[in-house]
Chain A
Amino acid sequence: MAFHEKSAWWMLIALSVLSVLYANALFGLSGDGQIPPPNVPVLIRYTVALVIVAVIGHIIIAATAPSDANAEPDERERKIFDRAGRISGFVFGFGVVSAMLFYLFQSNGDALFYGVFACLVASQLVEYLVKIYLYRTALD
């Protein structure tokens, strides 16, 4: 398995698990079933945990194949990254526009924040998934 594919697998799992934990933490703050306002300490903990997990994971992956880790992406990998980035961008753009439209009608700033944040996470997850798919299938 290529270094960048391992990286995509690692980040897909890490981001999924930590995002579920983050959502659980938010629901824990919500006593009455309402969306709680954005909580900076929880967000910072989530971000720091994600960075630490990402760094540790990449150190482990790189240690298993140092030459692969130092290599630049080749022509096929660049094509995979471009396609994954484009699809991820569509997801993010569509989500942000949807969140803005929701805000226009509901005027709920908290929902806007969470909507955009969820789109950011979803677009990253889509990017990792598309990369993994393209690594394993035919690429024209």
Chain B
Amino acid sequence: MAKAFPISNRVREVREQRGDMTQSDLGKLVGVTRQTIAAIEQERYSPSLETAFRIAREFGVSIDSLFSWKEDA
């Protein structure tokens, strides 16, 4: 059974709004692999605080608009 993570995110949504940015592109920008970006987007992995800040910075948004705590978790 898949583990439910308490942190949800909008990384895929915001990345897709960028149009041509792939998971691989984002991974290179923030210093992780494409597979790790995929895992973050699918909520199979919660990134470190540093990586979360890097992703938010690349998108030019605040970290709390990208990552949020699930109240029911």
Interface residue B36 (Cβ < 8 Å from any Cβ of A): yes
Give the number of A-B contacts (CB < 8 Å): 40
Chain A nearest CB from B14 CB (Å) reads 20
Known: A138-B2, A138-B3, A138-B5. A75 touches B47 (CB 8 A): yes
Interface residue B33 (Cβ < 8 Å from any Cβ of A): yes
Q: Which residues of B contact A76 (CB under 8 A)?
A: 32-33, 35-36, 39, 45, 47
* CB-nearest residue of chain A to B27: A74
Interface residue B44 (Cβ < 8 Å from any Cβ of A): yes
Instruction: Tell me the B1-47 residues at the A interface (CB within 8 Å).
Output: 2-3, 5, 31-33, 35-36, 39, 43-47
Known: A74-B31, A75-B51. A138 touches B36 (CB 8 A): no
Q: Is the pair B3, A140 in contact by a Cβ cutoff of 8 Å? A: yes
Q: Is the pair A75, B32 in contact by a Cβ cutoff of 8 Å? A: yes
Q: Which residues of B contact A77 (CB under 8 A)?
A: 33, 36
Q: Which residues of B contact A75 (CB under 8 A)?
A: 32, 36, 47-48, 51
Q: Which residues of A contact B33 (CB under 8 A)?
A: 2, 68, 71, 74, 76-77
Q: Which residues of A contact B39 (CB under 8 A)?
A: 76, 139
A interface residue numbers (CB < 8 A to B): 1-2, 5, 68, 71, 74-77, 135, 137-140
